[in-house]
Amino acid sequence: MRIDVVTIFPEYLAPLDLSLIGRARAAGILDVAVHDLRTWTTDRHRTVDDAPLGGGAGMVMRPEPWGAALDAVLAAGRERLGDPDAVPHLLVPSPAGTPLTQAGAEALAREPWLAFACGRYEGIDERVLEEAATRMPVTPLSLGDYVLGGGEVAVLVVVEAVARLLPGVVGNPHSLVEESHAPASGGLLEPPVYTRPASWRGREAPPVLLSGHHARVARWRRDEQLRRTAARRPDLLARLRPQDLDAADLAVLAQEGWSVRDGALVPASPAPVRH
Ligand code: ADE
């Protein structure tokens, strides 16, 4: 997979040399190019921003350097991929974007070429995205409902979430199968995990994990997933289909205050208000 990143802080992307992603690059699975937006400025001060039209706080990134940067990224990537018609999927990190999910990361992992446009300040002049969309798919992407200082950290997150799904990046592909948010976890969070020693600072690992009884271990893990999801992510539980749950699942969920009503899982109704 080819990845281009355009930013005014190329140094921010230094972690892409490390660990999992660094190894994937060395193995030729990932081809990452980080570009300094200021390369495509034309004035002495290498200006990339200006005041917002219509007024308001902060600064907006000017369209001219972005237009030239995307032209150059497109040309260099086509050359590199040996395909004069190739286009990247342009991802624009923004708190106003579509939220990234595991399913979204899986879809991105199937693409041959991603390009990231890192905004700073109040964002990038909207015409840059409009014009790019005449040439390539463009997706504004959010990490969540909070505001970062710029898109660089979001790029690190998205690249890590996507790269670890590429064949050959994670040593044991089974470790991808049952983690939280993977399709095989059935919409539940992962269970807690333990390793040796079995007793540590007076705390025992759950004895069932030492029993060697696979079916009981599987049931215990499933119960823990259900309990944890009920406590931490009730929004995920509410999306489960009751017909996908067995009697043991429903018994655990009942302990956590959940029941099936009108074909859906619902939390216990709050006690009626007395007047
Ligand atoms: N840039 C600023 N805030 C962001 C967020 N929440 N997600 C993605 N990019 C951002």
Residue whose CA lies nearest to ligand 1 atom number 10: 94
The string over 142-152, giving b where at least 16 C-beta atoms fall within 10 Å of a residue's C-beta and e elsewhere, is bbeeeeeebbb
Q: For ligand 1, is residue 94 a contact (CB within 6 Å)?
A: yes
pLDDT value at residue 217: 98
Given a cut of 80, whether residue 274 has pLDDT beyond it is: no
Given a cut of 80, whether residue 272 has pLDDT beyond it is: no
Q: Which of 149, 151, 144 is nearest to 5 (CA)?
A: 151
* pLDDT tens digits for range 208-258: 999 999 999 999 999 999 999 999 999 999 999 999 999 999 999 999 999
Distance in Å, CA 81 to ligand 1 centroid: 29
Under 8 Å between Cβ of 138 and 128: no
Distance in Å, CA 142 to ligand 1 centroid: 5
Q: How many CB atoms lie within 10 A of CB 4?
A: 24
* CA–CA separation, 275 and 272 (whole Å): 10
Half-sphere exposure of 69 (CA within 13 A, CB side): 30
Q: Which of 191, 20, 184, 168 is nearest to 103 (CA)?
A: 184
Prediction pTM value = 0.93
pLDDT value at residue 271: 64
Q: For ligand 1, is residue 95 a contact (CB within 6 Å)?
A: yes
Identity of the highest mean pLDDT range in 143-147, 169-173, 180-184: 143-147
Contacts of 177 (CB under 8 A, 6+ apart): 184
Question: Across residues 14-40, what is the average pLDDT?
Answer: 96
pLDDT value at residue 181: 85
Report the nearest atom of ligand 1 relative to the CA of 143. 7
Distance in Å, CA 94 to ligand 1 centroid: 4
Q: Residue 127's pLDDT band (boundaries 50, 70, 90)?
A: very high
Q: Which of 92, 143, 156 to mutate to test the pocket of ligand 1 (most atoms within 8 A of CB)?
A: 143
Given a cut of 80, whether residue 185 has pLDDT beyond it is: no
Query: Lowest mean pLDDT: which of 75-84, 166-175, 263-272?
Result: 263-272
Q: Which of 8, 148, 155 to mutate to test the pocket of ligand 1 (most atoms within 8 A of CB)?
A: 148
Q: For ligand 1, is residue 267 a contact (CB within 6 Å)?
A: no
The string over 171-195, giving b where at least 16 C-beta atoms fall within 10 Å of a residue's C-beta and e elsewhere, is eeeeeeeeebbbeebbbbbbbeeee
Q: Token pair 């049952």 is at which residue?
A: 178
**In the structure encoding, which two tokens stand for residue 243, read together?**
């017909």
Question: Across residues 143-163, what is the average pLDDT?
Answer: 97
Q: What is the mean pLDDT of the chain?
A: 95
Given a cut of 90, whether residue 35 has pLDDT beyond it is: yes
